[in-house]
A and B are shown apart, each in its own frame.
Chain A
Amino acid sequence: MSGYGFSLAGQALVALPSGALHWPAQGLLCVSDLHFGKSDRLARRGGALLPPYETRATLARLDADLEATAARQVICLGDSFDDLDAADRLEDSDALWLTRLMAGRDWTWIAGNHDPGPLALGGSLRAEVRLQTLTFRHIADLGTTGEVSGHYHPKARLAGQARPCFLLDDTRLILPAYGAYTGGLRSDDAVLTTLMGPKALAVLTGRRALALPMPR
């Protein structure tokens, strides 16, 4: 898979075209904002009845990424479930699939703003994770270097096409949303242009990971 290799705080990382982050030296795969169970939450709230397939669509991509990278360690950067109920309401087949993916892997759920509490699915639940020179957390914090976060669902536009993207500068990396039913925040939004340094890159997802100067 044609990922984009780069280094952050001295660590060699690869932004995968799927939107996952691969850290080969650690055998680690990191994904953000899976938003499992989004259609379920909307239906419960009396909103639109969206096709209830986004969880399996997201699982299918995660499965493929785990297979391809042979990662032994997984960090989900928060908002993995659209809300706490969503975790309990997973279809049996989806829950089984997730359990199979988790089996034999060191799996960490980082708390997000949608799913802050504990989970019955196994794995460890953490507010943030430090590994060597990197810090993994849900929402970026201005003071940190070597930070990997999610939350914003960044998107960027190239040649008329908007795609979910990684945002990368000397001190931090923001991951795109990995979940199937997720909107996005354009990279030229003030929140993101403030967070990211002047030489920041956007790495577009798609068939190949494409790096370009972050549109602002």
Chain B
Amino acid sequence: MALGIGGPPLRRKGKPLRATSPLPCAAPCPYLAAMIPLPPALADWFAAQGWTLHPHQRQMLDLAASPACLLIAPTGGGKTLAGFLPTLAELGAAPAPGLHTLYISPLKALTADIRRNLRRPVEGAGLAIRVEDRTGDTTFTQRRRQRADPPHIWLTTPESLALLLSYDDAPRIFAGLRRVIVDEIHALAESKRGDQLMLSLARLATLAPGLRRIGLSATVEDPPALARFLAPDCRILQADPGPDPDISMLETEAAPPWAGGGGRYAIPAILDQVRAHRTTLIFHNTRAQAEIFFHDLWLQNTDNLAIAIHHGSLAREQRDRVEAAMTAGQLRAIVCTGTLDLGIDWGDVDLVIQVGAPKNVKRLVQRIGRANHRYNAPSKALLVPANRFEVVECHAAFDAVRAHTLDGDPRGPGPRDVLCQHILATAAAGPFDAGALYAEVTTAGPYATLTRPDFDACLDFVATGGYALRAYDRWQRLMLRGGQWTLRDPRAAAVIRQNLGTIVDTETLKVRLKGRMGTPLGEIEEAFAASLTPGDTFLIGGQVVRYEGLREMTVEVTRQPGRDPKVAVFSGTKFATSTLLTQRIMGIFAKKTWPELPPHTARWLALQREVSQLPQADRLLVETFPYEGREHLCLYGFAGRNAQQTLGLLLTKRMEDAGLAPLGFVATDYATLIWGLEPVTDVAPLLDAANLRDWLEGWLAGNAVMKRSFRGVATIAGLIERSHQGRRKSGRQATFSSDILYDTLQKYDPTHLLLAITREEAMRGLVDFGRIEEMLARVQGRIDLIALLRVSPLAAPLLLEHGRVPVAGAGQERLLAEAAERLLAAAGLA
């Protein structure tokens, strides 16, 4: 059967071509003549399965010789196999030993999944190709064996690759490497993990000249930028995007609540949907919400539908069980978080439910793609707004998906803390020449514009700490010997390896059932564990457990079914709503009526317009009102959570200086609510654009957000060591807080490299000052200050929001003093 490039994909009737149902190609395939032929045994095996290639899969074979290629295909487009085809073709039936292809995915689970999927055709066709994975979970013995005798196809993660490259035998291991495949590169490119990976690829290219690169990506807004990220000269291959998704809002009997997340109100309707579909993925934005939702779901799951939970805080054993059950088709639904955003194949998912507003259209589109994991069939998705405001947000997201607009903020150049770590890891592998390393680093996409002075500053930091106070010889981690930089103490290499990686987690503790060899249940944040007293109950893995005590840094619990849990607080990523989405929300506000919205939401908006006004794109609405004895100010900046948070910090600082005695604030994606003792009568001076930036400069230095960014930067750059479970002694902290280092540097060495990196990162990320300036530019001083006698409909949900931030200042000290006095009095000690 002959097929032209670009023709319709051929596949067996009813059997989609996708990652779990490996490849392709009924033999004889005439078009194969034009490219590298697949090994006959493999082609026969494909033929026996009745599979043919998608056009983009064929093109990947055509492009096998090109130095770099980025394939952009929707979920279900068989892109992972497209990436492997050239390798399978080149290896043939009986390849010589030696590493040929390195496959890198952002998830450990994904490498295991790919190994299973790849083994089927390899073993089915009787090919002598060795496929193995290597992740943090690989046993010590196996790792050692792999380094001595690597497989043909090695599946790994960016962190494991960085680790491999930090050993002195890396040149030998990778010398024969022919190809590297980066899967889900769109996800990696959004974080420092991607920057680290590109530095590792630059290293690999030096060790293995002629190395070819393949990047596999879901739909993204700017393919050329992603191609530049992957390689200097990179082809882009776009697969047919497939039909539009079938997306709608879940209809529920109960109206969504005013505030909060979780979507508990929608559980009956969600259960109906689960019943009506084969397999449903239920996405949540945070782990904590997924846990709570899962618990509540089971309380109402009277039919005992097989529903499981999957997120990154669960123990590996737990996740493995869920993944196995899912692959075996035993589950009707799975409650999950971003861990499942990436391409693990779950079999026959026919519905995706997103609980909570998606915050970002691109991510929504990628999640929706998980349903009907088959090419050229529309994906089916339902959105469940978690609260009244999210109803509007979900509608804005629909409109954007229908209009095919994707959002995404371009990333700046590669962060220098990652470079510092890379330099350190390079030194762990052996002596290096600074000029050669600089040249190599600038071949990595994110570091293409790195200047030599910037590189040298990073090298200086790694070598000596880079302090203005020049210390002595002993203050050196690297020394220059015979023109080459080398570790002063080779034993330091072990510590450097332990600290590799760019994911800086909050400190967590393992949770186990009490008893000898108690079952591991997962991990909780150390701060949350510290707040527990024996007898407290919390949720983990969907079960309610009772806190029994802390033993050797492990939280011991017992099962406690049927009790009301104290809620577990996981570090769920909080995404800020994208600029694109907020613009669309403003668009909805601007309408006269809202027939497309549910009546409860339309009434809410109409009431807001009646008593105050609805926020408009080119104006800034600020409301003031008294509530429970405090003066409140609500500022609808629609600048995203981080920027609204910064605005809260900045404004409360200004208000404190002005004697308005602010006590605290809370920020959401669309507004900041501030409360205090004095009413605000003139808001314009507080928001003067020029002054705002000056205040920011002065205020930023001592700020908690900066300290949080600093902790990550200092950990990645190698200033502070990660604490390892085994090394931590109970009670006595081996280390002190990074805040102290930050304060010290700020005071005695304010131009230090790590402070510069921290600042840069905070301005882009947590501080997000760019969006504040964008908002002020949009508004141009057109501020509507509306003094109300009571809370407005739009502000009411904010009073119920979590995440209230007390103002650190005289007010807080007063509150602490009051609290201490109350405690003393209660204890009879006053």
Contacts and interface: CB of A to CB of B under 8 A. Distances in A.
A120 interface: no
Interface in A33-69: 40, 43-44, 46-54, 56-57
A212 B749 contact: no
Interface in A187-202: 189-191, 199, 201
B748 A210 contact: no
B401 to A, nearest CB: 40
Contacts of B469: 52-53, 91
A18 B569 CA distance: 33
Interface in B643-675: none
Nearest to A91: B469
A207 interface: yes
A204 to B, nearest CB: 8
Nearest to B815: A159
A212 to B, nearest CB: 4
A182 B736 contact: yes
B735 interface: yes
A211 B720 contact: no
Using C-beta atoms within 8 Å of the partner chain, give the interface range for chain A. 35 or more
Contacts of B492: 46
B475 A43 contact: yes
B14 to A, nearest CB: 57
Given A91-B469, A211-B824, A51 B829 contact: no
Nearest to B471: A52
A150 B469 CA distance: 31
Interface in A76-117: 91
Contact of A183 (B475, B530, B718, B732): B732
Interface residues of B, number: 42
B747 A49 contact: no
A128 to B, nearest CB: 23
A185 interface: yes
B74 interface: no
B553 to A, nearest CB: 13
A23 interface: no
Contacts of B813: 206-208
Contacts of B596: none
Nearest to B823: A212
A158 B829 contact: no
A56 B748 contact: yes
Contacts of A184: 732-733, 736
Contact of B735 (A40, A183, A201, A207): A183
A91 B752 CA distance: 20
Contacts of A44: 474
Contact of A48 (B464, B721, B752, B824): B721
B731 interface: yes
A213 interface: yes
A176 to B, nearest CB: 12
B719 interface: yes
A181 B743 CA distance: 11
Contacts of A129: none
Contact of A201 (B474, B748, B829): B829
A158 B824 CA distance: 13
A186 interface: yes
Contact of B464 (A49, A158, A199, A211): A49
A183 B736 contact: yes
A180 interface: yes
A204 B530 CA distance: 18
Nearest to A185: B732
A210 B752 CA distance: 34
Contact of B491 (A46, A48, A211): A46
B740 A48 contact: no
Contacts of A208: 813, 817
A50 B816 CA distance: 32
A210 B816 contact: yes
A164 B243 CA distance: 61
Contacts of B820: 158, 204, 210-212
A157 B464 CA distance: 36
B471 A53 contact: no
Contacts of A91: 469
Nearest to A157: B530
Give 9 nearest A-B pairs by CB, closest first: A49-B465, A183-B733, A53-B748, A189-B731, A46-B489, A183-B736, A212-B820, A213-B827, A210-B820
Interface of B: 464-465, 467, 469, 471, 474-475, 477, 488-489, 491-492, 495, 530, 718-721, 731-736, 740-741, 744-745, 747-749, 752, 813, 815-817, 819-820, 823-824, 827, 829
Interface of A: 40, 43-44, 46-54, 56-57, 91, 153, 157-159, 161, 180-186, 189-191, 199, 201, 204, 206-208, 210-213
5 contacts: A48-B718, A49-B465, A50-B741, A185-B733, A199-B827
